[in-house]
A and B are shown apart, each in its own frame.
Chain A
Amino acid sequence: MTKRLIAGALCAGLLSVGAGSPALADGAASTRNIIFGAAAAGVGTWAIINHNKKVHQKIDEKDAQIHSLDQQRSDAETSATSEHQAYLHEVAVANHYMAETASLKREVVSLKRQVSQNGAPAPVALHPAQPQQQGQAPLRVASVSYGWGAL
């Protein structure tokens, strides 16, 4: 217990001596302390400015990166839109050709049916077969003829 009291008294004495030392300092030490403080303040200011500079640089880099990503996304959207329009155009063309093919197929089927009904040979040359009438009622002749040779 006594030892604790002695240690506490020593610490208090040392603290009181340290606190009183600035009051006992002379003019040179005060000037030195002022210079040291100013230097420390300058270093701190420089550190803060440098830190802010780095922060702003990083912010700018982030902004540039974001802008680049936006540009890429915009380009991708434009490209996708263009490709989609090209695809729609191709689909329209394909539909047109499919419809035309179906129409031609129907026509072929109809002609085949007509040929089979007429009982005519398949490789028959087509001829206008519209004769000039001489004093008779005009004949309504079909547009196909069957037989041999060219007229």
Chain B
Amino acid sequence: MKKLGIVLAGAIALAGCASASADTPIDVADQVTRAVYGDDLNGTVAHFDSGLREQVKTEDVDRLSHMMHDLGSYQKLTTVNADNMNRRYDYQAAFDRGSLLVQTRFDPDGRVAAYRISPVQQ
């Protein structure tokens, strides 16, 4: 019985570590970008704070998804700028036929307070 408790505690600790590692800014940005690329409204707003969530509309996600699909398949994010003090992070989103600049800002709770993408001139 005692061993079982230790195992459960270890499993819970591992799960906590795993979830913590999944919440790094680049991971959150990647998840949001993949959701936008997949035209997934719920996935897009999953990490958004309440104020930002209210701004998102289905047609907005649809348009940005089309914009991304014009560049081909989504591959990955690469950090371009990281400002931990202001929780501002910029990434280069690579696609088959180009890239986009993904700019994010997080609130103190780790929720996404701003998510913007900009075309990158090839």
Contacts and interface: CB of A to CB of B under 8 A. Distances in A.
Interface of A: 118-121, 127, 129, 131-134, 136, 139-142, 144-151
B80 A136 contact: yes
B24 to A, nearest CB: 17
B84 interface: no
A141 B116 contact: no
Contacts of B105: 149-151
A146 B80 contact: no
Interface string B78-105: 0111000000101010000001010101
A57 B57 CA distance: 96
Interface of B: 48, 51-52, 55-57, 59-60, 63-64, 66-67, 70, 79-81, 88, 90, 92, 99, 101, 103, 105, 112-121
Contacts of A145: 101, 103, 116-118
Interface centre among A120, A121, A132, A145 (most CB of B within 10 A): A145
A140 B122 CA distance: 7
Nearest to B67: A119
Contact of B116 (A119, A132, A147): A147
A127 B118 contact: yes
Contact of B101 (A118, A131, A148, A149): A131
B52 A141 contact: no
Given A133-B81, A141-B121, A148-B56, A127 B116 contact: yes
Contact of A139 (B79, B80, B114): B80
Closest 9 A/B residue pairs (Cβ): A149-B114, A147-B116, A131-B90, A129-B118, A145-B118, A140-B121, A142-B119, A145-B116, A131-B81
B59 A148 contact: no
A146 B81 CA distance: 18
B52 to A, nearest CB: 5
Nearest to B91: A131
Contact of A148 (B52, B120, B121): B52
A131 B64 contact: no
Contacts of B79: 134
Nearest to B116: A147
B115 A148 contact: yes
